[in-house]
């Protein structure tokens, strides 16, 4: 069902301050870690990879991205929401200036993807067109798209919203829930082929989510230098 390279070792360079030593995982295809307890895991992606962290509102995306933020810039639509909110009158509903906030978010996301460095993206995950656009844009620069999908269930996600005291609207939550359910069903039926635009899909729940202690972006190993034999005169 999945392919993954896991090795034991000390914390690699770039893992982030305070990241515990443990296992290092380089995911490929579909990697289902739901329900799996164990030692902390550092997840290793290729240099320049774009990693999309998806899941229902309240599922722990922001917490996971804060844990990983030492390794790469994070693009979160919440940052654009807050920036727009700061310059708008307090009485003005967010729905009025939502298009501006979304435009600001997409412009920042586009600029970061074009920059060429590794990138972490906060996204609901229910929009196929978004993943495909990110995959095409990153692929033009020789970079891979990877997906981390938090499958914690509606009850756990609603509890997460209560804990942070920030709620998604009932309509938005239902839309994200339906989109995520469709994606999970496609993954169940078709495996990695369900998300062809991503080089890997890592499935997490509330148990395995806590194991992913840090992330790193590593270049491919340098090729071994070849030893050239001296060219001498041929046989007389």
DSSP letter string, 102-143? HHHHHHHHHHHHHH-S-EEEE--S--HHHHHHHHHHHHTTT-
Average pLDDT, integer, range 61-77 = 93
Q: What is the CB-side half-sphere exposure of residue 209 using CA atoms within 13 A?
A: 22
pLDDT in tens, 108-124: 999 999 888 899 999 87
**Mean pLDDT within 72-98:** 89
Name which of 43, 40, 14, 49 is nearest 27 in CA terms: 43
pLDDT band at 3 (very low <50, low <70, confident <90, very high): very low
Which has more confidence, 45 or 6? 45
Cα–Cα dist 195/183, whole Å: 9
Who has greater pLDDT, 65 or 21?
65
pLDDT in tens, 211-233: 998 999 987 666 666 555 555 55
Distance, in Å, from the CA atom of 104 to the CA atom of 150, rounded to the nearest integer, reads 26
The rounded distance, in Å, linking the Cα atoms of 134 and 53 is: 13
pLDDT reported for residue 121 = 95
Question: pLDDT category, 5, cuts 50, 70, 90?
Answer: very low
Strands 22-32 and 3-9: antiparallel
| Coil vs helix vs strand at 49 | coil
| Whole-angstrom distance, CA of residue 83 vs CA of residue 49 | 27
% of the chain residues with pLDDT over 90: 56
Q: What's the length of the chain?
A: 236
pLDDT single digits (tens) 21-34: 468 999 999 999 99
Retrieve residue 2's tokens: 């999945």
């Amino acid at each position: 069902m999945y392919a993954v390279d896991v090795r034991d070792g000390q914390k690699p360079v770039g893992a982030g301050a305070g990241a515990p030593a443990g296992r290092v995982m380089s995911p490929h295809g579909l990697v289902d870690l739901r329900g799996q307890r164990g030692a902390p895991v550092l997840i290793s992606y290729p240099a320049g990879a774009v990693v999309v962290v998806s899941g229902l509102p309240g599922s722990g995306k922001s917490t996971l991205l804060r844990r990983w933020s030492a390794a790469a810039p994070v693009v979160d639509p919440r940052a654009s929401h807050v920036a727009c909110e700061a310059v708008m009158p307090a009485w003005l509903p967010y729905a009025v200036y939502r298009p501006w906030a979304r435009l600001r978010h997409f412009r920042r996301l586009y600029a970061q993807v074009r920059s060429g460095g590794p990138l972490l993206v906060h996204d609901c995950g229910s929009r196929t067109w978004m993943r495909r656009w990110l995959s095409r844009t990153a692929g033009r620069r020789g970079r891979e798209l990877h997906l981390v999908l938090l499958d914690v269930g509606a009850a756990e996600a609603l509890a997460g919203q209560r804990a942070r005291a920030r709620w998604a609207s009932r309509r938005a939550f239902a839309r994200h829930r339906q989109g995520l359910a469709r994606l999970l069903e496609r993954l169940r039926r078709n495996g990695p082929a369900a998300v062809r635009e991503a080089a890997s899909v890592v499935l997490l729940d509330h148990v395995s989510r806590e194991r992913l202690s840090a992330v790193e972006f590593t270049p491919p190993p340098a090729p071994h230098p070849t030893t050239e034999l001296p060219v001498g005169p041929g046989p007389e």
